[in-house]
Structure 1
Amino acid sequence: MVFVRKIFALLLLIGWLIGGLTVAYAQHTNVPLALSAKVEGGDEDMSITLIFDRKVDMVPQLLNHPWRLVLDFERLGFGFEIDQKDWSGFASDMRWGDMSDVNSRIIFEMDKPFRIAEIKAQENKGNDTFSLVLSLKQSDSDTFNAAMIDNMRTNAVVQRDTKSDRLGVSAKPVVSKKFTVVLDPGHGGIDSGAVGRHQTLEKEIVLAFAKELKARFDAEGNVEAILTRDSDVFIPLNDRVQFARQSNADLFISIHADSIRENYVRGATVYTISDKASDSVAASIAESENRADEIGGINFADEPEDVADILVDLARRETLGFSVQFARLAVSKLQEETKMINNPHRHAGFRVLRAPDVPSVLIELGYLSNAEDEKQLTQASWRAKIVNQIAESVSRFAELSGRRLSVANEKE
């Protein structure tokens, strides 16, 4: 009994410390702290109650496929854990995270179409907290879709004004005279990506790798390496593409470590873009990656497409040639140091590779669904070898493509 009491006391202490650290972090960064979330109701109506440590402003959005309630805030700290066993109503899932350095988002997935009947915001003077209570009622698909479109129109100006803030780095990157490679660590923020058998998160692995690769380029000084994100933030796919173009990039490398059903499949893979997938694995990976915006609560259907004229088509073809050239170089170098998947250069319709004027590849370092790959991905010594091989591939590509490799050789 004494032992049980000691364990109970220890657990209380740990909980108190964790809660205290979370609150301290929020206070230190001067952002509001989300304290709790409660979901209750029945099949026809339900309510969501969110408690914060201070007043917050919120903008709601509706998205379908699946039906979602998206709540946008300025940057929040998150101090709650959600036990869905206590839920009632027609909400099926909840996730939350940072969309950028200045914005956060909470998303509720629903089992059926719905409408927002009422939103109440109130200060709770008794305990110095702030509540948001959203009352939802069951609806039908047509009514939901009409409300969603109306909501998009209402928020259109706000979305255009704040779009540049999504990026984890400067929205107006400095154009370098050096050969420029944009390194894109996949996922981030609310989108964790794949999760390994030992709970390794893809978003953390690829960010660490991208930083190590950038450090290698920075140390050598002949390649300008820019990260699409250098922290745990969410960036929509289209913004990653646009950032590479705004940076006048000579090469775009999206870095991933996905998960697939066939857990026996392992090894690195290099992907280029194609309307038709080279195989079922490539198709599955592309489909998964292209859902990143959905996971982050972004409706990408209204994203503008590039002008489909003859000049754009010619640019795409030339760019694809460069992309394939780099993919072959990367495969050749990578297979010197690590296991590769069968037919390691594959292709599929990855949205993040669609820039018409920037050679682009997606590199799967390995698959977190495979135990051996997961172990490898967490080893700094293995990552260092792969960093070296990719860096050498980039340097060789710059030479072959006639791009600028060093400012020292330029005539000012």
Structure 2
Amino acid sequence: MNKYYRIMDANFNRAREGLRVVEEVARFILNDPGLTMEARELRHRLSLAQQFFPGGGVAFLHARDVAADVGAAAPPAGEEERDVIQLVLANFKRVQEAARVLEEYATLCDGEGPFKEIRYRAYRLERQVVERLRQLGPEDSVPPERPVPVPAGGYHCHRSRAVCRIDCSLYVITGDKFGHGRPIVEVAVAAIDGGATVLQLREKDFTSRQLVDVGHQLRHLTRQRGVTFIVNDRVDIALAVDADGVHLGQDDLPVGMARRILGPGKIIGISTHSLEQALEAQRQGADYIGVGPVYETHTKDDVLPPVGVDLVRQVSARVSIPKVAIGGIKAHNVAEVMKAGADGVAVVTAVWAAGDVSGAARELLSRVREAGAGNR
């Protein structure tokens, strides 16, 4: 146990130190009380999490052995010119990596903690802090950002890779008519308990008022649980409930227009049904794409013919942004689409219609990870 506590102690310290750096940037450079309090709360949650392990925080202190740490004398990384944005990105990376280590080792130490939630809240906070820093002018002493290299294929994201990040391993879409009369929020809680990494509100028959009411509830839930929250089609609803982003169809608003309305910090996904559409979505600056329907599906009235796994394979070879396979995805065919190059799967009935929602989500996520998409 002591050797595991040594690992966890080092990563508790690493995460808190990174958050402290971010907190000072939010406090003294951005003068933003909201971002400052978010960083501070995450740091305090890490400290409180130690109390839920056998022996509490004192046990981690006793496990510390700096003199015997073979990594303490490692040579420092090569020095390079950095501005405040690179400083923030580097420290968020420390926080996210440390939270992942804590999440894994907690299971070996008879304890648990909010490490996954902290990790995904850190992803969101990273996007918010970096976007705020980029809005500052030269008079605020923030050096201009270096250009982002254009990868092969021509994709140029105007935000850093870390800022664009979304874990789409298990992307669950609401389907009230498939929920057997259960409230949407109740099913959403169960799906998140099972491991959903993204939740999308898609209810075509709901009024705007209903979407706002349910959207506020799901926003509160996903923010508490560290899950990305997306609204389907409706940019106005996404803004009203402060969702993390919006998912658009081919006939909806163009990406550029949606970006101007939502602002640079929000996530925009696009449904694509051909290689040409996928490449165009990437060119326009989408953060991720849906590819499908891969298999036959009946969750929508205007469903298109299946595009097959071959399209997933073609898109994966040409498109660098995250790709989510959708349409008829079930536990038995997850491995097939993942091996074709998908970064995650989007489902409706496979989770929403299940008798055991958490169990269904857990099985899907397990199969996604078994196919090699768990650590992204």
Which TM-score tier does this pair reach, normalised by the shorter chain?
under 0.3
Please identify which structure carries the higher strand content. Answer: 1
Going by fraction, where is helix more abundant, 1 or 2? 2
What TM-score comes out, normalization by structure 1 length?
0.26
TM-score where L is the length of structure 2: 0.28
Larger Cα-atom Rg: 1
